[in-house]
Structure 1
Amino acid sequence: MATNEPYETNRPDPDALLALAEKDRRGKLTIFLGAAPGVGKTYAMLNRAQRLRADGTEIVVGLAETHGRTETSALLEGLEILPRLSVSYHGKELQEFDLDGALARKPRIIIVDELAHSNPEGFRHPKRYQDIGELINAGIDVWTALNIQHLESLSDLVAQITGVNVRERVPDTVLKKADEVLLVDLPPAELITRLQDGKVYLPASARRAADRFFRLGNLTALRELALRRTADRVDDQMIDYLRQNAIEGPWATAERLLVCIGPDALSEKVVRVASRLASGLNAPWLVVNISHSDRETMDDEDLRRIDDTFRLAEKLGAETRRVTGSDFVTEIMKLAKREHVTQIVIGSHCRRWLRNPLRTSLADALTQETSGIGLHLVTADENTPHRIRPKPVWPRLPTLAKPFGIAFLCVLPAALIGALIDRIVYLPNISLLFLIAVLGAATYAGFAAALMAALLSALAYNFFFIPPLYTFTIASPHEVFALFTFVVAAVLAGSLGSRIREQAKTARSRAAAMQALYDFARKLSGTADVDEVLWASVSQLHAGINRNIVLLRPNGDALETAAAWPPDTELGIAEIAAARWANTRKEPAGAGTGTLPNCRFQFRPLTSPHGVVGVCGYEVGSEPLDSNAERMFSAIIDQTATAIDRARLSSESAKQAVRLESERYREALLSSISHDLRTPLATITGAVTSLRELGERMSPESRDDLLQSIEEEGARLSRFVANLLDMTRISTGTLQAKREWVDVSDVVRSAAERARKYFPAQTFETGIATDLPLLRGDSVLLEQVLFNLLDNAAKYGGGEPVNIYARRDGKELVLSVTDLGKGIPTVDLDRIFEKFYRRSKTDGRSPGTGLGLSIARGFVEALGGRIHAESPAVRKRGTRIVMRFPVEEKDQTLGSP
């Protein structure tokens, strides 16, 4: 049906709704933000707390720093104050916030002052904002206070404004994730007056603060930063509201920043500036480092600097990435187009024309290539070094010894061979020998050896082969040109050879790492056992990063060590606590993290699509993992988590298959019972009813027929119940066969007579060998087996005679039952021994329960024998069930039947 109403396209943003749902599941964070100490943040918190307490709201004070201010201390009256935790630190007694006490109390709202405070060593978290994060995750609303200078992205700007380096810092993401930010503002002049009146610090401290920090210009700049950051936060909240409610409004443009860093001191400033820029634009940002693929790998100090810069960027909310390439500009532009970047931020040093007169800077090259993308240049301060550790222009003498020795060993044979050839025949291009020497030095030892080989080759060629000989004088101008050309060619060839060598070295290193990961992946894919996966993982990690490794798996509410390398690795109480934290919070914990950093180990959760399946820890030692080891570690634990999850799913699948099979048997049993009980019971009930109602009026023949029916159906029920009991004994393992000497011929005759009684219309023929030995077993079980087989043959034999044969075959006694029915398809020969399996057609009788052959197999195996079916049996028809039993030697044998 058509409608004239417009199609509704305005829908709430799913990401915004998910973020809102996530906030509803945790506590709320309220930050009282100020431009500087003394503006009244704690006073405003406590004043608001008193109003809520008067309204009946549950609110307690976990920690409030009054700094001796009487007005602020007076606001604590009437509020519940949690006891502080007394800690001895460097000979001093400190009163710190008791996190565990607050979690145990679990109030609705708690006040925890000084968000940027650093905890003493030995605490679960090194920073108080991490304590507050744990309170929020526990569902507790938290009020706290923060000065603007403690924000991580503003620390360098604050240091530039005030000249004071702020040591205690808070990631910008803490402020961004706050549910409410309240600006506590005070004009700078009034704040200075409060400082002079002694309402901020004690008089001696106030004088020092007024001289260094509390200046009118400093406070004005800090106030502007606080106002701007609060305005940005309000703008973020407004955009979130518009997205959650699908309201068309002043949406922010889709900006995305790309930040390029390197191993220099300027990179940290670039990241901080980019963080402020991204915060102002409300845009995501990506931090990337591009390293050359055809040069020497960076030294350890450069790698550590890049890793530190990446950690700072991640703390400020950026995404990080590493790229390898030979052309920086090309790689940056490719990444910018792929990530839809709108602005690029890079650092730029002042150009030193005397040092690099012909070199084009990265900023100039990007300016020429960018089109439609904004470019931000962050310049270095005058005291910022171009490199973290300036490399000397000339290498130290010990570093020159090896390349010089290799160059000398390459040039010496070239000079000797050239002198030998020159004595035999004159060659004008004998300098090619020295070019080979330069290439050999470059290939074996790199550019330094190639350059030295080129210089030695030039000297040797001039001394031995350019007239006047045995001097370094050149008489002919064309020889000067030839020597200059040779030196240039040798340097270029050596540079090319050394570059190829470095590329090959890098390729071999990467290929080795990839091969190790590939071998590890193949090893994991070939096993479904969790223990094998764990031991393969710890051994691979130990070999890859050369650290002690431990893997822990959850066992109920506890974590237990599942594998470790070396195997005798032990964990202390702090390590166990860090591992539990990583397991429950799904985040790294331990050394080098924000949770229990004093541990020896750092623990990472093994996260799979179905949750955390374990925890992996490595001993940090004196240095953290470098970037290559970090990537290998992350790749291996990801593969390990996937393998553990796959093994778990495989185990659950096997258990589910068993449950389904058990359920199928149960349903088949219930179906069989309901059918096989209902039919004879209906016959018996009908016969009894007829006898009661018409007994005297019925003829004697009719009464005999009814009584015979009752007798037959009663016997059938008896056999059915006996089969169920026998199957239960076999399934539960309670079947115990006797070990007596059995006369098999008597058992065969007894089973045949019993079958003739139950099936009088069926012919049963027996054939017993004359040399039939005694059998060690249970005559009752053996007779039941034969009767079940005869019962089955009578039903499916088509009315033809059924043959029973008993003979000896070497050290085995063979019993067989053969019918001449239609036979069994080859694919079903093994299935006929399964429980509840029944063939589709019989001779007209009831097909039975499908337990007879299954019981026969259980009894035969209990007697130590084997049973199988053969079809066709005789003249391409019929079925033969063959049983074989081991014969124990005895002096007695049986005669003929």
Structure 2
Amino acid sequence: MPENDRERTSRPDPDVLLALVDRDKRGKLTVFLGAAPGVGKTYSMLMRAQRLKKAGVDIVIGLVETHGRSETMALLEGLEVLPRREVVHSGRTFSEFDLDAALARHPRIIVVDELAHTNLGDSRHPKRYQDIEELIAAGIDVWTAVNIQHLESLADVVAQIAGVQVRERIPDTVLNRADDVLLVDLPPTELIERLKEGKVYLPDSASRAVDRFFRLGNLTALRELALRRTADRVDDQMVDYLRQHAIEGPWAAGERLLVCIGPDALSEKVVRTASRLASGLNAEWIVVSMERADGEDGDREEMRQLDDTFRLAEQMGAQTRRVIGNDFVEEILRLARREHATQIIIGARQDRSPLRFLRRSLADALAARASGIGVHLIADSDKPSARPKRTRARASAKEIARWVAIAATAVASATAAGLVIERFVILQNISLLYLLAVLISASYAGYVAAIAAALFSGLAYNFFFIEPVGTFTIAEPHEVFAFFVFLVVAILVGSLASRIRQQAKAARRRATDILTLYDYSRTLSGTVDVEDVLWAAVTQTQKMLRRGAVLLLPEDGDIALSVAWPPDMELSVTDMMAARWAFEKKETAGNGTGTLPNSPFQFRPLMTPHGVVGVCGYVQRDKPLEINEERALAAILDQTAIAVDRARLSRETLDQAARLEGEKFRAALLSSISHDLRTPLATITGAVTSLRQLGDRMPEESRNDLLQSIEEESGRLTRFVANLLDMTRIEAGTLNARRDWVDVADVVRTAVERATKYFPERAFETSIAPDLPLMRGDSVLLGQVLFNLLDNADRFGGDDPVSIYARREGNEIVLSVTDLGKGIAPADLKHVFDKFFRKGRPDGRARGTGLGLAISKGFVEAMGGQIKAESPAVKRRGTRISMRFPVAIAEPSKRGCA
């Protein structure tokens, strides 16, 4: 063997290892399997539980049915038993397993008897095996018990063996996913003896059980089924072990079954037989149904039966497909080759019609053309009820009467037209009028009307136009031949016209569905907002299904109702529990499912490659969707999930951009802080060090210079810290501007005096109008704004004086600060009031934190004013920053305010 092949062979199967990893996160399921009641399943569980309890293992009893057996009841002593939940059903009180209490207790192992039990009342799940699946998903090991007759795939076999229809059944996948299956066996003769001794049922029930179910032949057959199923499960576990440890084994790897079903009772038997065959072969299997592309769908009952069969197949672990085509044999074989199927399973119905020798059944056609693929035929029973009823046979008498009336009206019109024409001219091909009547009947009313019109046309043509007229006899042989040819042609033409009508109707329906989905896709493609997507989806769903619809999205770790149509729809506690289940478990929940079926809604998860993005719910109320509604809903949900995911990704992209921008701002802030703090601190530190070391030996003038430097840099630090605090107040929304009377002229003079002190080399020119009124505002904030503007003008205004103007324009007070520096580029003009925006000085270096103008804008807007920057300002140079404040309506005299 080549080295590479040997290396590949020695590697464990990655799929099996991944399944093993996923299994380690869950609890383990141990099933005690028996052939019949009374073999000792519960007794064996409790015996093992007692041994583990003595060993110190945390094991509790969730629910055990002792059926009054004293031996079994004695084994409960010393074990922790969880209290049961009281449920009222049909006026009576029953005790049920308390799932929530078990989850809250969260033991290492819990014993929950009666795996196939059906829950009562408003339980979260209708079946106990679903309760156990939730316990396993929570990481709790579960022990349970079940008899072989409760397996879904064996229901028909058990009914045939024992003559009893088992109502409580579990999907085969439950047993297939079990980690351990322990067979509890007892010889049939010993079991019958225990039954007679009253160790299984009470005496009155035991006698009936012996007569009906507990017969030697029944128990032997059930025991064989249990042994075979346990052996299959052990073989599966052995194959898994070999693959996990890369041990070469003799397992087969190519078996794959394709199961063909239809809307009839035989399909259920086909699916059960295929499930048993797939289990025995350890093979994957696909269930497929065919639908004609040019025909109408079956009636609602047929579609419902087909959906039930599909659900049964999915419960047993099959994949499902729906294929549309006209040549069923070709479509089935094409699917079989595409899916690499090795065997095809199909039902073979007994055909007792006289024409059975002239036509080939679908099963025979498959067997003839399936080269290289095995074909299994599942025979039908001899019961007449197994034969399906066609849609046309189910038409109501009222509909048939209407169709016949249309045919009679068309034939009567053709007859009247023919009689009128014969008064003026004799025609040899008057029968064409009746062909036209047949075509019209077929076009308007379908196949039944076409056949009726053909028969009526033959009679009318014979009575009114074939000699002797007025009788139903035909005198000439050629007329007899013409009559029968006409009748055959009329029937063929009517059939073809009816079929064309059906094809056109189906094509219109599909075109309407495609157009609806296309319009919906276009709507979603142009929508990026999540709320718009949700409203489009919920209205489209409600319009298509004609039922109330809701959409829920995740919010703060939970899901919440986002949109609903009609808008006044509300969800109850049960509805929200079903919606959460669909979101968390990624499976359908609510009405018509195995999880919280008491809810009137059915909830479906919106699945994307990135996971579940939401949940869609619609009102079902025990009225399942038709097949076309199901397909359209699936398409809408897929598109909605993609659109919601796209909107989410778009929002995340914007958030990421905002975070990057925030990082940019933070980097700029840190850079500014490090520079603006380090420079004055270095100056102050150096001056203080020099004064301490050389203070007595330094000239008076040098000491004064150092002290002045300390004072200036301290002031600079103070302004810097004040700017940071002011910006923080503005962004936090805690800035509260006072509304006092303010003399603008005084504020301007004070700001200029302060700027002159800090910038002694800069010249300032002021121009204050004499009639300047008072304004409502905060003199401290206004003074800080003017100082920030003067500071900015000093840094970027060149060597020319800075001008400050204050005047009145209408009902506004205008303040402006103008410098004659280089100015601001048009691209930068709209950013001058942004945080951390710093424009370079003429020497190419940037100064300051870029907060001064941003703070000025915040202060001005807090006082109800506006601020604007203009550049160039004077003679194509410089920058002017102007502020406008409203004039107070009632202003006191300046003397009174002084």
Tell me which interval the TM-score lies in, with the shorter structure as reference length: 0.7 to 0.9
Q: Partner amino acid for 1:130?
A: Q
Q: Deviations over 1:763-822 (max 9, x none)?
A: 445566788766655555444434433332332233344444556666555544444433
- On the 8 A contact 1:591/1:602 being kept in 2, the answer is yes
- On the 8 A contact 1:265/1:384 being kept in 2, the answer is no
Q: Partner amino acid for 1:115?
A: L
Superposition pairs for residues 180-219 of structure 1, below 5 Å?
A: 180-195=180-195, 199-201=199-201, 205-219=205-219
Provide the residue aligned with 1:40 in structure 2: 40
Q: Partner amino acid for 1:46?
A: L
CA drift at 1:707: 4.4
Do the aligned partners of residues 113 and 716 (structure 1) sit closer, same or farther apart at CA in structure 2, a change above 3 Å counting? closer
Do the aligned partners of residues 774 and 39 (structure 1) sit closer, same or farther apart at CA in structure 2, a change above 3 Å counting? closer
Provide the residue aligned with 1:455 in structure 2: 455
Q: Partner amino acid for 1:169?
A: R
Provide the residue aligned with 1:288 in structure 2: 288
Q: Partners of 1:5 and 1:569 in 2: how far apart? A: 62
Q: Partners of 1:4 and 1:546 in 2: how far apart? A: 61
Larger displacement relative to structure 2 (594-603 or 21-30): 594-603
- Asked if residue 371 in structure 1 is aligned to residue 375 in structure 2, the reply is no
Q: Partners of 2:690 and 2:71 in 1: how far apart? A: 105
Larger displacement relative to structure 2 (448-457 or 164-173): 448-457
Q: Partners of 2:106 and 2:438 in 1: how far apart? A: 75
Q: Does the residue aligned with 1:246 lie in a helix, a strand or coil? A: coil
CA drift at 1:383: 1.6
Do the aligned partners of residues 663 and 421 (structure 1) sit closer, same or farther apart at CA in structure 2, a change above 3 Å counting? same
Q: Does the residue aligned with 1:30 lie in a helix, a strand or coil? A: strand
Provide the residue aligned with 1:334 in structure 2: 334
Larger displacement relative to structure 2 (393-402 or 289-298): 393-402
Q: Partner amino acid for 1:273?
A: T
Q: Partner amino acid for 2:821?
A: G
- Asked if residue 825 in structure 1 is aligned to residue 825 in structure 2, the reply is yes
Q: Does the residue aligned with 1:346 lie in a helix, a strand or coil? A: strand
Provide the residue aligned with 2:593 in structure 1: 593
CA drift at 1:271: 0.3
Q: Partners of 2:703 and 2:394 in 1: how far apart? A: 124
Q: Deviations over 1:325-378 (max 9, x none)?
A: 222112212222222222111101112241544322001111222122111110
Provide the residue aligned with 1:840 in structure 2: 840
CA drift at 1:301: 1.2
- Asked if residue 153 in structure 1 is aligned to residue 157 in structure 2, the reply is no
Larger displacement relative to structure 2 (121-130 or 884-893): 884-893
CA drift at 1:150: 1.7
Provide the residue aligned with 2:127 in structure 1: 127
Q: Partner amino acid for 1:341?
A: A
Do the aligned partners of residues 774 and 296 (structure 1) sit closer, same or farther apart at CA in structure 2, a change above 3 Å counting? same
Q: Partner amino acid for 2:494?
A: G
Larger displacement relative to structure 2 (359-368 or 640-649): 640-649
CA drift at 1:89: 5.7
- On the 8 A contact 2:294/2:507 being kept in 1, the answer is no
Identity of aligned residues (%): 66
Q: Partner amino acid for 2:363?
A: A
CA drift at 1:269: 0.3
Larger displacement relative to structure 2 (585-594 or 560-569): 560-569
CA drift at 1:620: 3.5
Q: Does the residue aligned with 1:821 lie in a helix, a strand or coil? A: coil
Superposition pairs for residues 725-744 of structure 1, below 5 Å?
A: 725-737=725-737
Larger displacement relative to structure 2 (275-284 or 144-153): 144-153
CA drift at 1:660: 4.9
Do the aligned partners of residues 436 and 56 (structure 1) sit closer, same or farther apart at CA in structure 2, a change above 3 Å counting? same
Provide the residue aligned with 2:115 in structure 1: 115
Provide the residue aligned with 1:851 in structure 2: 851
Q: Partner amino acid for 1:305?
A: Q
Q: Partners of 2:274 and 2:297 in 1: how far apart? A: 27
Provide the residue aligned with 1:136 in structure 2: 136
Q: Deviations over 1:517-571 (max 9, x none)?
A: 4555555566666666555555444433334445556666877655545555555
Do the aligned partners of residues 738 and 35 (structure 1) sit closer, same or farther apart at CA in structure 2, a change above 3 Å counting? closer
Provide the residue aligned with 1:387 in structure 2: 387
Q: Partner amino acid for 1:251?
A: W
CA drift at 1:138: 3.4
Q: Partner amino acid for 1:354?
A: P
Q: Partners of 2:746 and 2:92 in 1: how far apart? A: 99
Q: Partners of 1:65 and 1:748 in 2: how far apart? A: 93
- On the 8 A contact 2:299/2:391 being kept in 1, the answer is no
Provide the residue aligned with 2:713 in structure 1: 713
Larger displacement relative to structure 2 (379-388 or 672-681): 379-388
Q: Deviations over 1:638-694 (max 9, x none)?
A: 555555555666666655555554454344333322211221222233234334444
Q: Deviations over 1:126-169 (max 9, x none)?
A: 33323333333333322222222221101111222232222222
Q: Partners of 1:4 and 1:142 in 2: how far apart? A: 43
- On the 8 A contact 2:62/2:110 being kept in 1, the answer is yes
Q: Does the residue aligned with 1:881 lie in a helix, a strand or coil? A: strand
Q: Partners of 1:564 and 1:118 in 2: how far apart? A: 33
Q: Partner amino acid for 2:244?
A: Q
Superposition pairs for residues 404-423 of structure 1, below 5 Å?
A: 404-423=404-423
Q: Partner amino acid for 2:12?
A: P
Q: Partners of 1:101 and 1:235 in 2: how far apart? A: 36
CA drift at 1:847: 1.4
Provide the residue aligned with 2:221 in structure 1: 221
Q: Does the residue aligned with 1:794 lie in a helix, a strand or coil? A: helix
- Asked if residue 256 in structure 1 is aligned to residue 243 in structure 2, the reply is no
- TM-score, normalized by length of structure 2? 0.88
- On the 8 A contact 1:774/1:890 being kept in 2, the answer is no
- Asked if residue 267 in structure 1 is aligned to residue 267 in structure 2, the reply is yes
Q: Partners of 2:182 and 2:691 in 1: how far apart? A: 97
CA drift at 1:272: 0.2
Superposition pairs for residues 590-739 of structure 1, below 5 Å?
A: 590-606=590-606, 615-637=615-637, 660-695=660-695, 697-699=697-699, 702-703=702-703, 705-737=705-737
Superposition pairs for residues 237-636 of structure 1, below 5 Å?
A: 237-383=237-383, 385-389=385-389, 397-425=397-425, 428-466=428-466, 469=469, 472-474=472-474, 477-520=477-520, 537-550=537-550, 562-567=562-567, 569=569, 574-575=574-575, 577-606=577-606, 615-636=615-636
Do the aligned partners of residues 694 and 574 (structure 1) sit closer, same or farther apart at CA in structure 2, a change above 3 Å counting? closer
Do the aligned partners of residues 330 and 81 (structure 1) sit closer, same or farther apart at CA in structure 2, a change above 3 Å counting? same
- Asked if residue 24 in structure 1 is aligned to residue 20 in structure 2, the reply is no
Q: Partners of 1:64 and 1:752 in 2: how far apart? A: 92
CA drift at 1:109: 2.9
Q: Partners of 2:845 and 2:568 in 1: how far apart? A: 70
Do the aligned partners of residues 423 and 109 (structure 1) sit closer, same or farther apart at CA in structure 2, a change above 3 Å counting? same
Provide the residue aligned with 2:789 in structure 1: 789
Q: Partners of 2:778 and 2:207 in 1: how far apart? A: 107
Q: Partner amino acid for 1:512?
A: T
Q: Does the residue aligned with 1:849 lie in a helix, a strand or coil? A: coil
Task: Give the RMSD, CA atoms, in angstroms.
Answer: 3.9
Superposition pairs for residues 766-805 of structure 1, below 5 Å?
A: 777-778=777-778, 780-805=780-805
Q: Partners of 1:5 and 1:560 in 2: how far apart? A: 54
Q: Does the residue aligned with 1:828 lie in a helix, a strand or coil? A: helix
CA drift at 1:403: 1.7
Q: Partners of 1:391 and 1:751 in 2: how far apart? A: 94
Do the aligned partners of residues 357 and 830 (structure 1) sit closer, same or farther apart at CA in structure 2, a change above 3 Å counting? same
Q: Does the residue aligned with 2:385 lie in a helix, a strand or coil? A: coil
Do the aligned partners of residues 425 and 886 (structure 1) sit closer, same or farther apart at CA in structure 2, a change above 3 Å counting? farther
Q: Deviations over 1:94-116 (max 9, x none)?
A: 55545455445444333333322
Larger displacement relative to structure 2 (657-666 or 267-276): 657-666
Q: Does the residue aligned with 1:323 lie in a helix, a strand or coil? A: strand
- On the 8 A contact 2:774/2:891 being kept in 1, the answer is no
Instruction: In structure 2, list runs of 5 or more residues that go unmatched.
Output: none
Superposition pairs for residues 75-86 of structure 1, below 5 Å?
A: 75-76=75-76, 78-82=78-82
Q: Does the residue aligned with 2:375 lie in a helix, a strand or coil? A: strand
- On the 8 A contact 2:839/2:846 being kept in 1, the answer is no
Do the aligned partners of residues 400 and 582 (structure 1) sit closer, same or farther apart at CA in structure 2, a change above 3 Å counting? closer
- On the 8 A contact 1:795/1:842 being kept in 2, the answer is no
Q: Partners of 1:859 and 1:728 in 2: how far apart? A: 12
Q: Partners of 1:254 and 1:680 in 2: how far apart? A: 81
- On the 8 A contact 2:773/2:891 being kept in 1, the answer is no
- On the 8 A contact 2:591/2:621 being kept in 1, the answer is no
